Chains A and B, each alone.
Chain A
Amino acid sequence: MKYLTTFLGYLKWHYITALSTVFSFWKNILVFLFNYFSIKNLVGNFFTPWKRLADSYPKRFNIKIYFFTFVSNSIMRVVGIILRSIVILFGLICCAIYITLLPLTLIIWLALPLIIAALIIFGIILLIFS
């Protein structure tokens, strides 16, 4: 009776309570991926020069210095944009793949008790009847 009660208690947890835990588990990992690739931060600073390596423009107007500053700052911006784009793209691909895994995760979770039972039984059959 005790075994049956605890088993039923477990099943209740597995198919009702834990579903929200599995979902928050999945959500936490998604947020982590998003943070890991710093996507929000990179998008917010998309046009900022690479590591803010930018020169200040001269206080007195000098076309030559002004031009060179503009060019070097633009180069740093372009470098920043390229590198950020690569990371954002890669990060978004990873997140997208991960999002598609949600249904699969749920299916595996729902079938997990059966999968465990199947692995153990099939293993015993192979061991004994081979």
Chain B
Amino acid sequence: MNIRDYLKQSSIYNVLATESLVSEDFRTSLAKISKIIIMVLVFVLLFFYFTKNSVRFIGLKNFVYSYNLINRTIGIILFNVGVFIYSQLANFYFSSSYYFEKITKNIYTKDELYTFSAGRILYAGRKTDILHGFINSKIGKLVFLRLGINPNDAKVFCNSQKIIINEEVPVPEDEILKIKDIAKYLYSTKKEFIKFLNDKGITDKELFGAIDWVVYEIETKEYNTQWWRPEALAKIKSIAGDWSFGQTFLLDKYGRNLMSDQEVNSEAMSFSSRDAEMGQIENALSKSSGSNAILVGEPGQEKMQVIWDMCRSIKNKSVALALQNKKPILLIANFIITACKDKNTLENQITKIFNEVVRAGNIILVIANFTELYKHAESLGCDFINLINPFLESTSIQVVAMVNSSDFHQTFENNKVLMNNFETVLVRSLNSDEITKIIYSAALESEKLYKIFFTYQAIQEFTSSASYYFSNGVSSNMAMKLLNEISPWAKRNGYKIIGKNEVLEYIEQKTNIPTSGNISPKEKEKLTDLENLIGKRVIGQKDAIVAVSNALRRARTGVRNPNKPIGSFLFLGPTGVGKTETAKALAFVFFGSEDDMMRLDMSEYQTDDAMEKLIGSFTTGKPGIFSSMIREKQYGVVLLDEFEKTNKDVLNLFLQILDEGFFSDMSGEKVSTKNIIFIATSNAGAETIFKMVSDGKNPKDAQDKIIAEIVDKGLFKPELINRFDATIIYRPLENADLKQIAKIMLSKVSSRMTEKGLTLEISDSLIDYVVKNGSNKAFGARPMNRLIQDSIEGTVANLILKGDAVSGKTIVFTIENNNLSANVS
């Protein structure tokens, strides 16, 4: 069916036709202008009325009367009153005819053919075709703006496209036609349109997402104008709502009224994906006795968000009867813990608070940090559960406690007395689509407040960056926090339009983690030349250098898997062949300093308390070395030296880290390792490698055999080895490699001596001496450093002390019968 015929079949058609004659902008302007004219002229009339007997204005009075200006003024006022009422009536007409698809559910009746937004596009394209309608409609223009495309560019593209006469409308079989159906139709059939979008870097997901947001924005605006809706009127506080309920003087001292929280009263947080949790809380609190709920979730604000949702529902009066007119008060556990340092005081205060709540009759007692309060009470010798249990069992109290998942499983889950009176509500983490939808409304509020504009890509970036660049916290909190921080930052820096790059720039400033958004030319050069730069320090291990360099390039260009560490490598090989040096060189070349390499000597974590040392202890509350290390520095290289020596539990911890890019510390809080490169080194398989080299074989060719041998010995599980991005075999160094290493080391000594005005002559014989005496089969080049310190640096130090080596002199080492002697010239 063609557009015109299809449009006319719906009752919305008349509204769309009227809207094309009296647009929203036109109505708003009419209302504004007429209001101003009425106000000014009423003021003028009042002025005449009050000054009619004044002699000072006699000339003006005669002028006014001679031209009958008073009657004419009244005429203008009446005219404008008519215009004003007309504009308001027109607004009412559109508002009450508007069909929502995002904000309220199931509002469309079966006989409707298309949604309001889809209708607007079809109406705009009724004389041309759907593509022209989309690009020329107001919604289409807004979508392009949200995608960071200038609508004029879209118009130019549109004008170059041939009109399809009598284009068929893509009518869905069961449902009514939505704007998303139109977008899908355009994206699947109009090749030029796809090319236009792809040239601008827009994907189909971004197009559909931007449409979703624009429709949400329009509907929110429309919905908020309908002030007569019952839920809008319900938000106005009644004058005697709490007259029949008691006061909570003590509870007010230790808590706060959640109904006054900004999160409850702000329109920004109006979107919620927590219907399931809300339903469970309502059921729990509606029980005749034991009407209490325990919210269990990850550490962070997610549980509190559910409580705020509940408060909003109470405010809108859209809750179960048992929650209507209730006042949720948050008991802040830390206040009580600080104030009550002995058992009697604590028991007394807790009992009084619960009695107050019972007497007040309209309180929902919300206890955040329930675990801390419980532990504090236990530490004072108070039987906390039995103290509060009589209240929890009663019919006259509603309590919502919040606990972290790990605490719940460890402490409360098996406590039958407590769990008999608590209904468990599991608070799940939101997925990225749900977080994006929360950001929709918050971003619109921020735009109003700071006079800025977010593109859809920026909104998407908030969600993905929240889990990508921040080491801890729940993603939805981080995304909201990012949004709240970036708005004032953008305003200060003069950014009016905030796109993906601006978000990444802010994150880079905040975390010092380079984001793929901005790669400077200098950094580009460094990235392409990584092999050479690392190769200057690491000799003879080309495979390892290439693998590490590729991982870094993948990370920096944003093509890596975002849910894993940047890279993870297992370096196998004998001692002293450059495994540790590779990690150091990487830290120095790419991260700027060797200090960016965090080192864990895994031989220190062999005992049963290894896990406690690394991730902290729940019982003592002591934080772990590894978790603190990663929290302090979220971006860098972690060297796990002698990885095979650690215990099985630690190896299992790394199974998760390498696979999922995070681990949970002792308090159950997530620590992200997504911006870390892990390098695990091990001497396992060294003997086989030596044997192969002595047999004239290349160990690299028999990598599988070496790994199989390690697995057979039970050093590493196959699944752990498979979790690493690459397992690299370091071959023993050859003589030429050792010579090169000796030369590099001697050059370092030479440059230090140059600072003192001395010159060290590095002869081939000196290099050979260092190689011969400073390396061996078992330890590779490791003894070389010691030899240089003892023999060369020690000799130079003696010469300086004797006064032979002074500034301007050259020190020449000669070797006779493998004996080193120094001459100063």
Contacts and interface: CB of A to CB of B under 8 A. Distances in A.
Interface of A: 2-3, 5-6, 9-10, 12-14, 17-18, 21, 25, 28-29, 31-32, 35-38, 41-42, 44-45, 48, 50-53, 80, 83-84, 87, 112, 115-120, 122-128, 130
Q: Which 3 A-B pairs have the closest CB atoms?
A: A126-B75, A9-B14, A123-B79
Interface stretch (B229-237, B449-457, B744-752): B229-237
Given A13-B97, A36-B236, A52-B245, A127 B79 contact: yes
Given A10-B14, A38-B241, A123-B78, 7 more contacts: A32-B230, A37-B239, A42-B244, A51-B245, A52-B244, A52-B359, A123-B79
A116 B86 CA distance: 7
B243 interface: yes
A36 B361 CA distance: 20
B339 interface: no
B385 to A, nearest CB: 26
B319 to A, nearest CB: 14
A32 B236 contact: yes
Given A28-B233, A37-B240, A38-B240, A119 B21 contact: no
A33 to B, nearest CB: 9
17 contacts: A10-B18, A13-B93, A28-B228, A28-B233, A29-B233, A32-B233, A38-B239, A38-B241, A42-B243, A52-B244, A52-B360, A115-B82, A119-B78, A120-B83, A123-B81, A125-B75, A130-B68
A36 B238 contact: yes
Given A38-B238, A51-B247, A123-B82, A2 B93 contact: no
Nearest to B79: A123
Contacts of A124: 75, 79
Interface of B: 13-15, 17-18, 21, 68, 71-72, 74-83, 85-86, 89, 92-93, 96-97, 228-230, 233-234, 236, 238-247, 317, 325, 359-361
A129 to B, nearest CB: 9
A28 B230 contact: yes
**Chain A binding surface, main DSSP class:** helix
A130 B78 CA distance: 14
Contacts of A5: 14, 17
Nearest to B231: A28
A123 B15 CA distance: 29
Given A53-B247, A122-B78, A9 B18 contact: yes
A73 B222 CA distance: 51
Given A51-B243, A123-B77, A125-B75, A9 B89 contact: no
A27 to B, nearest CB: 9
Given A5-B14, A21-B96, A42 B240 contact: yes
Contact of A41 (B78, B234, B247, B325): B325
A53 B240 CA distance: 16
A126 B239 contact: no
B238 A126 contact: no
Contacts of B82: 115-120, 123
A25 B75 CA distance: 32
B89 A116 contact: yes
A17 to B, nearest CB: 8
Residue from B74, B82, B360, B361 having most chain A Cβ neighbours under 10 A: B82
Contacts of A87: 239-240, 243
A9 B307 CA distance: 46
Contacts of A6: 14, 17-18, 21
Nearest to A33: B233
B76 A123 contact: yes
B239 A80 contact: no
Contacts of A50: 243
Contacts of B76: 123, 127
A122 B76 CA distance: 9
A115 B72 CA distance: 19
Nearest to A84: B243
A28 to B, nearest CB: 5
A45 B238 CA distance: 16
B375 to A, nearest CB: 33
Nearest to A128: B75
A120 to B, nearest CB: 4
A35 B85 contact: no
Contacts of A118: 82
A10 to B, nearest CB: 6
A41 B362 CA distance: 12
A83 to B, nearest CB: 7
B45 to A, nearest CB: 13
Contacts of B360: 52
A123 B361 CA distance: 59
